[in-house]
Amino acid sequence: MVYKKIANEEGNYKDVNEVRYDVLEAHEAWTPQGKNVGWDEYPDMATALAAYGLTYDPVGEL
């Protein structure tokens, strides 16, 4: 799986500084620069979040 961390003020993930992000997940990512260019490969989401230093904190869900 490939992952990409994207800054988003309404994202469902936050870092230690409370800055919010989204994390996109895909089997493969076809970018203008090529396959998976700019995306990170991890075995699963939890590993990716750990690598990114993010925790799941959804916004707007009840």
Partner 1 sequence: MSIAEVKTQERYQGDGETVQWNITFAFNDKEDLKIYVIGSDGTISEVTEDYAIEGTVLKYPLQTNGTQPLAEGETLLICRCTPMLQELSFDAQADVPPSVLESGYDKAMMIAQELAEQINRAVKFPVGTTNGQTGAQAYLNTINSAVTTAQSAASAAQSAASTAAADAQAAINSYTDTAVGAEKLAREAADATKLDITTAASTYLAQTDAASTYLAKSDAISTYLTQSDAASTYATQSALTTGLAGKQATLTTAQQAAVDSGIDSTKTAQIQTNKEDIAALDAELGEDRPWQKPADWIDIRNGAIDNSVYFLVGHSADYSSYPKFSLNAEVSTGANTYDVYVDGVKQATTASGTATTLDWQTLALSTGWDVTHPTALRTHVVRVTPTTSTDTLTRILIAAISGQVQQGCLWIHFELDNTIRASSLAGSESNKRNLLLEAVTAKGDKITLQTNSSESASGFYGMFAHCESLVTIPTLASDGQYNSGIYIPFNGTKIKKLKLSNLTPSGLAFLNGSSIEKIETDKAISFMSGTGSANKVGEIPLLKNLPPISTKKSENILIQNASSLGDTFIDLSFDDTKKTVRVYGTSTYFCTGVKGLIVSSSAPFDGASPQINVSYTGMNRVALVALFNSLPTVSASQVIDITGATGAADLTADDIAIVTGKGWTLTR
Positions touching partner 1 (CB under 8 A) are 2, 4, 6, 8, 10-11, 22, 24-32, 38, 59-62
Specify the residue, 16 or 62, whose C-beta has the smaller distance to partner 1: 62
Distance CA 10, CA 14 (A): 10
Task: Write down the residue that tokens 């490969």 correspond to.
Answer: 41
Give min distance, CB of 41 to partner 1, in A: 13
The answer to whether residues 21 and 7 touch, using CB atoms and an 8 Å cutoff, is: yes
Structure tokens at 18: 């409370």
Give min distance, CB of 32 to partner 1, in A: 5
Give min distance, CB of 29 to partner 1, in A: 5
